[in-house]
């Protein structure tokens, strides 16, 4: 009997320790953005179609050249002729394979006068933005619905904590431009209008009508106008 109790207690202690280790590992995982690299250089080989938890498979080290460490993907101004008057050029691992396992990436956003980078979130990264041209009105909404807004001028930076909703609007007379750095090679971008009004397949009009308290004809008109976003 005493032997059985000792075995049960040992088992209980063992299970508790295993549970604690799992929780600790899980906690340390969610506290970071991308996992740490295990090699100096791991240029993504996008051609394999394979993907690992830490990114893409590496191109053979013998084939790596200086060109793999450089990219001009953000060099050109984006075409802002669209309903929002802004264009985001993504400098993520998908466009710049040298970023593989580096835990960082960068976007460029161009704004026409009055252009808006519509409300969106990045599920896998925090963001640090610098305004390199013009003046923006920026907004960030926290998880408990607190809205922060500010006018940010050329040369100034602002932060967007991971996963929070945010937007920018060009309030200057001319064009505006930003560069945004992320602590993920593939931060993801969930745009509110795109997700809700241009998903594939489409979210039912009746549902959006109820959620936004709009009649269904307005929802349909909005979906039609957002066709090319
Ligand atoms: C700006 O918010 C960006 O995601 O580039
Ligand atoms: Mn953003």
How many angstroms does the Cα of residue 168 sit away from the middle of ligand 1? 8
For ligand 1, atom 1, the nearest C-alpha belongs to 180
Q: Is residue 213 part of a domain?
A: yes
Q: Is residue 39 part of a domain?
A: no
**pLDDT number for residue 17:** 57
Q: Is residue 61 part of a domain?
A: no
User: Which ligand has the shortest distance to the CA of 89?
Assistant: 1
* Average pLDDT per 10 consecutive residues for the chain, totaling 229 residues: 59 58 47 80 93 89 97 98 98 98 97 98 98 98 98 98 98 98 97 97 98 97 93
Q: Is residue 111 part of a domain?
A: no
Number of domains into which the chain is organized: 1
Contact at 8 Å (CB) between 68 and 82? no
For ligand 1, atom 2, the nearest C-alpha belongs to 167
How many angstroms does the Cα of residue 58 sit away from the middle of ligand 2? 28
How many angstroms does the Cα of residue 18 sit away from the middle of ligand 1? 40
Q: Is residue 214 part of a domain?
A: yes
Strand order in the sheet with 105-111: 86-91, 105-111, 176-182, 127-133, 157-160
**pLDDT number for residue 82:** 96
Contacts of 213 (CB under 8 A, 6+ apart): none
Strand order in the sheet with 190-191: 147-153, 135-141, 165-170, 116-121, 190-191
Q: Measured from the CA of 107, which atom of ligand 1 is nearest? A: 5
Q: Is residue 227 part of a domain?
A: yes
**pLDDT number for residue 51:** 87
| 32 assigned to a ligand binding site | no
Question: Whole-prediction pTM value?
Answer: 0.84
Q: Is residue 217 part of a domain?
A: yes
**pLDDT number for residue 158:** 98
Domain that holds residue 221: 198-229
Ligand 1 pocket test: pick from 166, 176, 190 the residue with the most ligand atoms within 8 Å of its Cβ: 166
**pLDDT number for residue 52:** 84
**pLDDT number for residue 224:** 96
Contact at 8 Å (CB) between 101 and 55? yes
Q: Is residue 6 part of a domain?
A: no
């Amino acid at each position: 009997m005493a032997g059985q109790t000792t075995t049960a207690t040992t088992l209980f202690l063992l299970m508790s320790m295993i549970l604690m280790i799992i929780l600790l590992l899980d906690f340390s995982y969610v506290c970071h953005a991308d996992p740490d690299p295990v090699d100096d250089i791991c240029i993504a080989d996008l051609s394999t179609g394979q993907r690992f938890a830490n990114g893409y498979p590496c191109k053979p080290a013998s084939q790596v050249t200086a060109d793999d460490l450089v990219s001009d993907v953000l060099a050109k101004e984006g075409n802002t002729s669209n309903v929002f008057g802004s264009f985001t050029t993504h400098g993520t691992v998908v466009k710049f394979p040298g970023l593989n396992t580096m835990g960082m990436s960068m976007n460029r956003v161009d704004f026409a006068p009055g252009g808006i980078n519509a409300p969106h979130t990045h599920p896998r990264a925090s963001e640090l933005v610098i305004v390199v041209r013009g003046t923006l009105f920026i907004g960030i909404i926290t998880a408990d619905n607190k809205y922060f807004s500010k006018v940010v001028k050329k040369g100034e930076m602002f932060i967007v904590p991971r996963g929070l909703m945010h937007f920018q609007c060009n309030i200057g007379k001319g064009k505006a431009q930003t560069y945004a750095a992320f602590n993920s090679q593939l931060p993801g971008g969930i745009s509110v209008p795109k997700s809700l009004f241009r998903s594939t397949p489409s979210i039912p009009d009746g549902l959006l009508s109820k959620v936004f308290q709009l009649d269904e004809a307005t929802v349909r008109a909005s979906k039609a106008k957002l066709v090319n976003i």
